[in-house]
């Protein structure tokens, strides 16, 4: 019986929180309305660490949760904010620099189109199978929208392992 206030929701401003927290080894991992990743002691509600991907600049969007992976003492939380997929050390909240480009993967890349012109984000956490994070994305519905490919990333490196084309590409069934 405890509560935790992230401090993100200012009075009079609307905010949205749709995160489904997870608890692993006595820690609760949750995202805030301004897309900060927070680790709490699940028994007491005491904040252990907080990671702000926007470095205190204004953040908007929706995040519905996080994904956890562990092997041989390497514990990682994967979550998305804006167009980025982050790998964060579950013990201390630091970015895992060996993942992607200094700890993050740009979800706009690897879609076969000019990344800077694409609006892509992920509101729902991926799922891990063995050492692969399978991640969908949220995108527009217009003619010029990014393709809605489902991609699998290596949890250690952030490299794309495979891509499922939701609309078959030339030569595919």
Average pLDDT over the chain, rounded to an integer: 88
Which pLDDT does position 112 carry in this prediction? 77
Q: Band the pLDDT of 74: cuts 50, 70, 90.
A: very high
At residue 144, does pLDDT exceed 60? yes
At residue 57, does pLDDT exceed 70? no
Q: How far is CA 3 from each of CA 38, 45, 119, 152, rounded to the nearest angstrom? A: 14, 7, 35, 36
Using DSSP, state whether 153 is helix, strand or coil: strand
Read off φ and ψ for residue 117, nearest 5 degrees.
-100, 0
Mean pLDDT (whole number) for 115-119: 75
Which pLDDT does position 123 carry in this prediction? 81
At residue 101, does pLDDT exceed 60? yes
pTM of the model: 0.90
Share of the chain above pLDDT 70, in %: 91
């Amino acid at each position: 019986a405890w509560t935790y206030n992230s401090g993100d929701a200012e009075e009079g401003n609307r905010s949205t929180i749709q995160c489904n927290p997870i608890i692993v080894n006595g820690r609760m991992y949750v995202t805030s309305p301004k897309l900060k990743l927070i680790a709490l002691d699940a028994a007491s509600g005491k904040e252990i660490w907080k990671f702000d991907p926007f470095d205190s600049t204004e953040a908007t969007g929706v995040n519905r949760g996080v994904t956890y992976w562990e092997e041989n003492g390497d514990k990682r939380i994967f979550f998305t904010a804006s167009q980025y997929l982050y790998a964060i050390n579950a013990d201390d909240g630091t970015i895992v620099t060996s993942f992607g480009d200094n700890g993050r993967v740009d979800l706009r890349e690897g879609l076969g189109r000019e990344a800077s012109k694409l609006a892509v984000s992920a509101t729902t956490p991926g799922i891990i199978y063995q050492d692969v994070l399978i991640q969908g994305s949220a995108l527009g519905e217009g003619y010029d929208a990014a393709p809605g490919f489902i991609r699998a990333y290596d949890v250690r490196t952030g490299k794309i392992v495979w891509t499922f084309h939701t609309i078959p590409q030339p030569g595919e069934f």
